[in-house]
Amino acid sequence: MLSFAIKGFQRLSGCLWRSIFTMWDAITYGITKSMFILQYIFLGLICVTIDYLLTLPIIDNRDFSRAMVDNMGHALIGGVSWITVVGIHRKGILQAIGCAVMSSLIDVDHFVMARSLHLKNAVSLPHRPPLHATTILPFVVPILQVWCAQNIPCLHHLPYMFIVAVLSHHLRDAYRRGLWFWPMGSTPPLPYWVYLSCVVILPVIVRDAIEAIEKLPVSELGTDGLQGKAIQEQV
């Protein structure tokens, strides 16, 4: 009788622990999914907030204030977009800072084209400067992939960071002026909801692309890909 009671207690205890672990897994999964969704909502809210600040008279009526807020917006959106790609950890935060800097520095070409350090000259160009052409991506990204990503272990994500920095910057500008595909020309200005959707979806596409490339069999990567994958495994 006692052994029967002990076995019954053990079974009851086992069922109880399985229920607790199942509930814990469900809660953890729910939190993970919620955080996954919230980070994209947060990215969209950053875009909306920056765009709203640019409409305030105290900022919009001053060239310097408008340029500073707009450039800081590019940097912030670029950095948060990259964090959304790789997640929040020490290395990811450092990479996000690098992505933010790259997204901000794209506007330097305004001053280069104007051949002047005066802000008024830089924002009054007759046409957009070269780094604002989205067609720079197919030229620069392969160079970064071959020159940096496969030879410098700490930079194996640089091509993807460059894509996020450039596209997040160009998509924000496209709301006002469209995307510029040199030498073919520019698209019409993007509707606001299209611009927001593209900025939010960009990290999803880049993250999925990174995962797909890293899962490629060695035979499909070739010699260069093998070197790149070996470097990624070392990091």
One digit per residue, the tens of pLDDT, for the chain of length 235 reads 556 555 555 565 656 556 665 655 555 445 445 556 788 888 999 999 999 999 999 988 888 899 999 999 999 999 999 999 988 888 889 999 999 999 999 999 999 888 888 888 888 888 888 899 999 999 998 888 887 766 777 778 899 999 999 999 999 999 988 999 988 888 999 999 999 999 999 999 999 988 888 787 754 544 444 444 443 443 4
In 49-205, DSSP assigns E strands to: 180-181, 185-186
What are the start-end ranges of the E strands in the chain? 180-181, 185-186
Q: Three-class SS of residue 115? A: coil
* pTM score, whole prediction: 0.77
* Token pair in block for residue 50: 């920056």
Rounded to whole angstroms, how far apart are CA atoms 186 and 127? 11
Residue matched to tokens 């051949």: 115
Enter the DSSP assignment of 133. Answer: B
Two tokens at 91? 């290395």
Angle value at C-alpha 20, between 18 and 22, nearest 5 degrees: 65
Confirm if 147 and 153 have CB atoms less than 8 A apart: no
